[in-house]
A and B are shown apart, each in its own frame.
Chain A
Amino acid sequence: MVLDYSSGFHYLLALLPEVVLACWGMLVLILGVARKGAESRAQEIGWLSVAGLALAAVANGWLYSGVAEAGAGGMVAVDRFRLFANWVLLLAAGLSIIVSLGYVTRQKLQAGEYHALILFATVGTMFMASARDLMVIFLGLELMSIAVYALVGFNRRDRRSAEAGLKYFLLGAFATGFLLFGIALVYGAAGSVNIQSIAEAIRAGTVANALMAPGVALLATGFAFKVAAVPFHMWTPDVYEGAPTPVTAFMATAVKAAAFAAFLRVFVVGLGDLHGQWWAILWWLAAITMVAGNVVALVQANVKRMLAYSSIAHGGYLLVAVVAANDAAIAALLFYLLVYTVMTIGAFAVVVTVGNQTERNNRIDDFAGLGWRRPILGILMTIFLLALAGFPGTAGFIAKYQLLLGAAEAELWVLAVVLVLTTVVSYWYYLRVAWFMWMKEGGAELQASGSGGGSLATHIVLVAGAGLILLAGVFPDAVLDLALGSVEGLRQLAGVSAPAP
């Protein structure tokens, strides 16, 4: 089927996953209100939301299996890059919801609102991944951000959660302003907000450079804030630490993935011909982010906060892909996001379980001896940590390797060396958790059984996730080919030439 966008209906089809999910979110919201008070129903609502995500994934699959678009002028893209990113986003949302099932019940959060907000935020992230228009990106960003602001402060009884919500809201609004100003300047320079048209205008040489340069800088600032690149990361540790842990997992994966997808499309497709002008800025951003994220993570005594810094560091690795901007690097970005989603949510899920579905017990001392008391949990956490560290045998290594491949192809040797050296630094803090788990005694008491079925589901998800990480670490071909295949046509469509290193 070919979508030509001349009719509004075709836009609806092109946005089918988003439409399905948005409607489902409203359904969840209504059901949540209708069943208010019945806390035992919280789990049902959670599973209902997962079903909605699955349905959206099916719609995404339909788009993937042979729906094409006529030309590249539409406001939303129906290309494999977007659809792959959508899968990652849906997976991140689904895993976050399953991990939060027990947490929501235990903390007596309003399940209807909570899950509906996650679904709406996911719709926002998917808009960002699909947008071929700066205004659509902005809409998606706002939809996502507003839902996430509420989610971060969702646990009203917890002061840290409320503080984190306010902090995120203030800084997020500020960054949104930067982004919007950047969009305005780029529009002034290129005469369009359509990424395709911007690329064409740049190629035709009809852009006003005096407006374009600050516009690009402001766009970069806005995106850097959302992907938590140093020095725009100041909010991240506090917000990640204060937010309810499942929300942190969602932010560290879905929000970051969406921001990277939009970042990449705007900079590589829209501004690809200006690569020579912006790559140095992003080069430094990437290098500083990798170094600072990893070095500061070294001294964290709180596992949740350590994972926050680790997520900053991973943002730095992903920025390398944006700088390299070739097919190998873009495929690496997609693959990395997928793997990163599984391993990060896995690690956060273990933190939630060790905390008995609360915000306690997330100091590193609390993990002492965990491996011997709860061997399965210990082994799973070890696998996730090794994957985050990028160790061979796990998918984390494959992802990092593909990233290095992209960087090497663009001859970014210094950045590649920075990447591997900061990886060594990261070994220290990932292994530190491992050594507390296996080489020390004591630590926090775990409840014999988690609360309700959420815990069992979490365990199943964890085992499946760890299994996938190992499988994709040893036999990465299938997923790798999928990622490599999702890149084709992304740049060629816009006619952007390959960036000169």
Chain B
Amino acid sequence: MTDFLASLPLPYQDWALHALIWLPLAGLLHVVAAPAERARHIAFRWSAAVFVASLGLWWAFDPGPGGFALESSASWIDSWGVRYALGVDGISIFMVLLTTLTTPIAILGAWNYIDKRRKAFYSLMLLLQTGVTGVFLATDIFLFYVFFELTLIPMYFIVGIWGGERRIYAAVKFFLYTAVGSLLMLVAILYMYFASGAESFSYQAFLATELTMREQLWLFAAFALAFGIKVPVFPFHTWLPDAHVEAPTPGSVILASLLLKMGTYGFLRFLLPFFPGAVQHPTVVAIMLALGLIGIVYAAWVAAVQPDAKKLVAYTSVAHMGFVVIGIFALTVNGLQGGLMVMISHGVSTGALFLLLGMMYERRHTRLIEDFGGIGRVAPLFATVFVITALASIGLPGTSGFIGEFLALIGVFETHAVVAVVATTGVIFAAYYMLPMVQRIVFNPLDNPENRAFPDLSRREKVVLGPLVALMIWIGVHPAPFLTRMEPSVGVVLERVEAARVGMGGRAGAMEAVADPDVEGGRFRVDEAPEEEGAGSDEAAAPARGLAARGQTPSGIRAAMHPRWNAALCVAPCPNSWAIRAAARLACTAPRRSRCAPGIVHGLRDAGTEEG
């Protein structure tokens, strides 16, 4: 396949990234020029074409040592040293593929939902796709910033024009919240630009910038605020439920699947590598982990009492993003990979949930959970998809949600066991808010006569949901292709953090030890890294790095496939296997190894074997 791509008249590697960004814009022009009733067809075809074009990345991208691949760059604003530079690595490739997949699905999902001003709507959707893809592909900070801001405008109008009753409030809140953060980030970017002295906004130049701890903390604050609002991290999350609830279905899908990821992507891509000192500062780590934890637990509680299904799902986004945040700030390979996997999985499963809720709304014009009941009897296919998606969102073994959350929790457990224990309750809470909703919508008696005429999935809806369900299960059963592609890039990020730790010397270690007296935390990290490195990389190279998930999944799937779909049965294996695995993991690492070496994380495999 790789050879085929290279053998195209114009080698795929040369044009792929540019096409992914600019084809949607060409589609926009086409939509504008065409009559309104054709808009949705045209928009769908363009976005589908972009998706097909993006599939090549899967093969064309070679993880290699972890840097950017398919890089290309051209001069743009010479006066400032800004370049139009694109590249893709193991972190961004999944975000890009998620973008190209989600957009056509969202457009197809909006087929009948958007019944007025279609031309404007689909133009904005395509503009949004350009912006989001640009965010994930830009390797020039200025270019990144421009795309980052560019996504605001189409989303503002999508929520504001096609949204629900309080749409203007939600749209403006979304816009202003995000703008505050990103403009402060702009000042921080400028500061780094001058501090680097390189007259360049390239990623490499920013990486090479020497910053004092004080500077790093300030700049970290500015960047973290921008991305934290976008994620959203706990105290800044209030825009999210409003925007989600008011947005039209495709808007919610894009918002949940893609826009939130821009924040966590920013964490991985910029925050960690740029300010490796600040991200290890014990106070910073404590704050970020605490905020992530609060997000997980608090959002779960709030979600549990929502009468509105859409709002409930909106809060689950906050909870899931909390897992990403703690995964990232665990600063271990497991944690980072787990965070990334949660991002992917959340994009797929929450996108599907919003699509399902949109379908329910189209049929019944209500989103209140109490208005439904017994849907499973009249629309079995719909119910099946709904249950699978809900289980993936909870994180049942065998679904995509499990892999991410499990890895993230493992990662956190390695460095902050207490945090991991508390976060694990979030998984239980996830079942606590999600399963009753499933119960009340899909099962329960069919006592509302209006629900008797609830039509099952149409052909279009099957096409919309099919790929998402397939992905949820594929990732859940066989995550290895994803993990192998992201691992080198995640390793690069961590190496940079590690390097700063060595640079900071014993002082940092000591500080960390003081901050977390109950966790072995900082102590072993500083000294043991070198000797273990060899072993670690060997392990990383081993072909079997596909994870314990292998040993893991069968039981998970068995649980998921349980014929009765009984809530209690479904959840029970989850935390149980959790405990077993965590214990096994602890036992097997008793002769303590370096947790910094990339491969060690896959000690998971050991855990799996032991258990098996």
Interface residues of A (CB under 8 A from B): 372, 386, 391-393, 397, 401, 404-405, 408-409, 413, 416-417, 420-421, 423-424, 427-428, 431-432, 435, 438-440, 476-477, 480-481, 484
Instruction: Provide the residues of chain A in CB contact with B176, threshold 8 Å.
Output: 424, 427-428
B191 at the interface (CB under 8 A from A): yes
Bound together, the chains give a CA A75 to CA B168 distance in angstroms of 56
Bound together, the chains give a CA A83 to CA B414 distance in angstroms of 66
CB of A438 within 8 A of CB of B179, answer no
Closest to A423 in B: B183
Which of B76, B176, B187 has the most CB atoms of chain A within a 10 A radius of its CB? B187
Of the candidate stretches B149-157, B329-337, B600-608, the one touching chain A is B149-157
Bound together, the chains give a CA A423 to CA B175 distance in angstroms of 13
Which of A391, A404, A408, A417 interacts with B153 by CB under 8 Å?
A391
Instruction: Provide the residues of chain B in CB contact with A405, threshold 8 Å.
Output: 80, 190
Q: Decide: A393 near B172, CB < 8 A? Known: A408-B194, A424-B179.
A: no
CB of A386 within 8 A of CB of B172, answer no
CB of A477 within 8 A of CB of B191, answer no
Write 6 A-B pairs (CB below 8 A) sorted by A numbering: A391-B149, A408-B190, A416-B187, A416-B190, A420-B184, A431-B172
Shortest Cβ distance from A333 into chain B, in angstroms? 15
Closest to B80 in A: A405
CB of A439 within 8 A of CB of B77, answer no
Bound together, the chains give a CA A438 to CA B80 distance in angstroms of 36
Instruction: Provide the residues of chain A in CB contact with B79, threshold 8 Å.
Output: 476-477, 480-481, 484
Bound together, the chains give a CA A116 to CA B278 distance in angstroms of 63
Instruction: Provide the residues of chain B in CB contact with A476, threshold 8 Å.
Output: 77, 79
Which of B77, B79, B161 has the most CB atoms of chain A within a 10 A radius of its CB? B79
CB of A435 within 8 A of CB of B180, answer no
Q: Decide: A439 near B150, CB < 8 A? Known: A427-B179, A481-B79.
A: no
Instruction: Provide the residues of chain A in CB contact with B80, threshold 8 Å.
Output: 401, 405
B547 at the interface (CB under 8 A from A): no
Closest to A404 in B: B190
Bound together, the chains give a CA A278 to CA B77 distance in angstroms of 34
Shortest Cβ distance from B76 into chain A, in angstroms? 8
Instruction: Provide the residues of chain A in CB contact with B180, threshold 8 Å.
Output: 421, 424
Shortest Cβ distance from A397 into chain B, in angstroms? 8
Which of B77, B171, B186 interacts with A404 by CB under 8 Å?
B186
Shortest Cβ distance from B529 into chain A, in angstroms? 37
Instruction: Provide the residues of chain A in CB contact with B117, threshold 8 Å.
Output: 372
Which of B78, B168, B172 interacts with A477 by CB under 8 Å?
B78
Shortest Cβ distance from A442 into chain B, in angstroms? 14
CB of A420 within 8 A of CB of B161, answer no
Question: Interface extent on B, as a size class?
Answer: 20 to 34
Bound together, the chains give a CA A283 to CA B167 distance in angstroms of 39
CB of B183 within 8 A of CB of A408, answer no
Instruction: Provide the residues of chain A in CB contact with B190, threshold 8 Å.
Output: 404-405, 408, 416
CB of A480 within 8 A of CB of B186, answer no
Shortest Cβ distance from A356 into chain B, in angstroms? 26
A-B interface, 3 closest residue pairs, ranked by CB to CB distance from nearest = A420-B183, A392-B146, A392-B149
Interface string of B98-126 (1 = CB under 8 A from A): 00000000000000000001000000000
Interface residues of B in 142-196 (CB under 8 A from A): 145-146, 149-150, 153, 156-157, 160-161, 167-168, 171-172, 175-176, 179-180, 183-184, 186-187, 190-191, 193-194
Bound together, the chains give a CA A177 to CA B117 distance in angstroms of 57
Bound together, the chains give a CA A392 to CA B146 distance in angstroms of 5
For the residues of A in contact with B, the DSSP-based class is: helix
CB of A477 within 8 A of CB of B77, answer yes
CB of A427 within 8 A of CB of B175, answer yes
CB of A393 within 8 A of CB of B161, answer no
Q: Decide: A435 near B183, CB < 8 A? Known: A408-B194, A481-B79.
A: no
Closest to A432 in B: B172
Closest to A409 in B: B194
Bound together, the chains give a CA A428 to CA B168 distance in angstroms of 12
Q: Decide: A439 near B160, CB < 8 A? Known: A391-B153, A409-B194, A424-B176.
A: yes
Instruction: Provide the residues of chain A in CB contact with B168, threshold 8 Å.
Output: 435, 439-440
Interface residues of B in 74-96 (CB under 8 A from A): 76-80
Shortest Cβ distance from A138 into chain B, in angstroms? 36
Instruction: Provide the residues of chain A in CB contact with B150, threshold 8 Å.
Output: 392-393
Instruction: Provide the residues of chain B in CB contact with A428, threshold 8 Å.
Output: 172, 176
Q: Decide: A413 near B172, CB < 8 A? Known: A438-B160, A481-B79.
A: no
Instruction: Provide the residues of chain B in CB contact with A391, threshold 8 Å.
Output: 149, 153
Instruction: Provide the residues of chain A in CB contact with B183, threshold 8 Å.
Output: 420-421, 423-424
Q: Decide: A392 near B145, CB < 8 A? Known: A424-B179, A427-B175, A480-B77.
A: yes
Bound together, the chains give a CA A432 to CA B190 distance in angstroms of 29
Instruction: Provide the residues of chain B in CB contact with A477, threshold 8 Å.
Output: 76-79
Bound together, the chains give a CA A393 to CA B145 distance in angstroms of 11
Q: Decide: A413 near B187, CB < 8 A? Known: A435-B160, A476-B77.
A: yes
Shortest Cβ distance from B132 into chain A, in angstroms? 14
Q: Decide: A417 near B187, CB < 8 A? Known: A391-B153, A431-B175.
A: yes
Shortest Cβ distance from A407 into chain B, in angstroms? 9
Closest to A398 in B: B77
Shortest Cβ distance from B115 into chain A, in angstroms? 15
Shortest Cβ distance from A335 into chain B, in angstroms? 10
Instruction: Provide the residues of chain B in CB contact with A404, threshold 8 Å.
Output: 186-187, 190
Shortest Cβ distance from A14 into chain B, in angstroms? 29
Instruction: Provide the residues of chain B in CB contact with A413, threshold 8 Å.
Output: 187, 191
Bound together, the chains give a CA A405 to CA B153 distance in angstroms of 24
Q: Decide: A417 near B184, CB < 8 A? Known: A408-B194, A431-B156.
A: yes
CB of A386 within 8 A of CB of B161, answer no
Bound together, the chains give a CA A365 to CA B33 distance in angstroms of 31
Instruction: Provide the residues of chain B in CB contact with A480, threshold 8 Å.
Output: 77, 79
Which of B167, B186, B193 interacts with A439 by CB under 8 Å?
B167
Closest to B186 in A: A420
Q: Decide: A439 near B171, CB < 8 A? Known: A391-B153, A392-B145, A424-B179.
A: yes
Instruction: Provide the residues of chain A in CB contact with B194, threshold 8 Å.
Output: 408-409
Which of A372, A438, A440 interacts with B157 by CB under 8 Å?
A438
CB of A439 within 8 A of CB of B184, answer no
Which of A393, A423, A439 has the most CB atoms of chain B within a 10 A radius of its CB? A439
CB of A408 within 8 A of CB of B184, answer no
Shortest Cβ distance from A376 into chain B, in angstroms? 12
Bound together, the chains give a CA A372 to CA B162 distance in angstroms of 13
Instruction: Provide the residues of chain B in CB contact with A408, threshold 8 Å.
Output: 187, 190-191, 193-194
Instruction: Provide the residues of chain B in CB contact with A438, threshold 8 Å.
Output: 157, 160-161
Bound together, the chains give a CA A372 to CA B80 distance in angstroms of 39
Q: Decide: A393 near B146, CB < 8 A? Known: A431-B175, A477-B79, A481-B79.
A: yes
Shortest Cβ distance from A334 into chain B, in angstroms? 13
Interface string of B10-25 (1 = CB under 8 A from A): 0000000000000000
Closest to B145 in A: A392
